[in-house]
Structure 1
């Protein structure tokens, strides 16, 4: 199936998105039901459908608060792995007796180490810093929980191959589509609010695809 560079679908992501895969990367900023906003209602069952639409080598990035994101993580466990293989009991010494740890003698031979090589690109790419400085969306956001497109672009360039397909299951303002256009990736987003979907399409349409396929 040939996919145009950017598409925003209107409707429920559980109905519209699974057949559009496989995705090289899935972005999701789902509602968790933490607020009284009309749109902030939990969407049950989307995670299993998204995982089924992911390519074998794909990755999934899900935004969430520290209060709620664990609810997503535990959904991957029960059906696949027994709890005894997940839980790691912390080892203790109940008698509180000091233990002596003796050093092992370093082996005299570590094996053959051949010459290595690396490729350097002038001006980058560089390793990502632990603190990322980005312009926030305060005062100019289209959607109440909009994420900076510059942040999404970093995730997309890191996790999706050039020309790959990104699926945004809760598209909102379309910032993911903007990031895909700037980074040279294809994009399919889904937004249940038709008015917001139109605004997302308008936003993406104004972005010129000034990308070289590499890291910015």
Structure 2
């Protein structure tokens, strides 16, 4: 299960549904989850100006509504157990999965705080020309219940440059952030890698130095890299050894540059 550990940076290899029940109850301040979107349907998309398959892997292929929802509900429930009373969870998605995510959260008693629209100014074009170009993803931010207090670094977010308005104004729920640049993929690529700026806002907004951040779908480790750079502790869970090794290389590169 333990794949890598260096000080307060930990990577666990395996299935989140099997690992999360073994983690300490109510130990995590902030969870960011980038689960499968279930959009690998043998279609096409545009990448770097070229037509490519939309398929990302069997892990991203829908198994049907009922089975997809059961998976979504179960992993969110497992995250609920390890989340502190005043902790919060952020979950990203598109129209393919985000409505199941929202329903599962509310079914489990979570209270939704915000629906963030991550606007991608450099989103690829829609090759079919039969509907609007997909140029955003949704990130739902929720706390364990309506009655619990939650951590929000309001002043910091107010001063953050969100590229949609002058600094000193309240940050809005539309975030203008370009797609992950090649400079953040030097150690290897993941098909759904999130940009550092997106995770920087999420972690800075909802945690403080020393808090524990969890990502149950670690991927290539952006959540962990940002957590480490902001002085947070980190635990990432990932099945694929390839992506765990990319995360380790990114972690080593970050620490070598300090």
TM-score strictly above 0.5: yes
For the pair shown, which has the larger CA radius of gyration, 1 or 2?
1
Pairs aligned (count): 170
Which has a greater percent of strand? Answer: 2
Tell me the secondary structure at the aligned position of residue 203 of structure 2.
helix
RMSD, matched Cα? 3.0
1:46 to 1:209, Cα distance in 2 relative to 1, 3 A: farther
Q: Structure 2 unaligned segments of length 5 or more: list them.
A: 1-5, 41-54, 62-67, 111-154, 161-167
Mean Cα deviation higher: 56-65 or 128-137: 128-137
User: 1:49-128 residue pairs with structure 2 within 5 A?
Assistant: 49-78=78-107, 124=159, 126=168, 127-128=170-171
Equivalent residue for 1:7?
Answer: 10
Which has a greater percent of helix? Answer: 2
TM-score of the superposed pair, with normalisation by structure 1: 0.68
Q: Which of the pair has the greater relative contact order for Cα pairs under 8 Å at 6+ separation?
A: 1
Between the aligned partners of 2:174 and 2:88, the Cα distance in structure 1 is 22
User: What's the CA shift for 1:130?
Assistant: 5.6
Contact map agreement 1:19 1:53 (CA 8 A) in 2:
no
Corresponding residue to 1:29 among 34, 52, 67: 34
Equivalent residue for 2:179?
Answer: 136
Mean Cα deviation higher: 188-197 or 11-20: 11-20
Q: Structure 1 unaligned segments of length 5 or more: list them.
A: 82-119, 212-216
Q: Deviations over 1:42-97 (max 9, x none)?
A: 5812111011111000000000003321101112344659xxxxxxxxxxxxxxxx
Contact map agreement 1:174 1:200 (CA 8 A) in 2:
yes
Between the aligned partners of 2:243 and 2:102, the Cα distance in structure 1 is 28
Corresponding residue to 2:60 among 33, 40, 54: 40
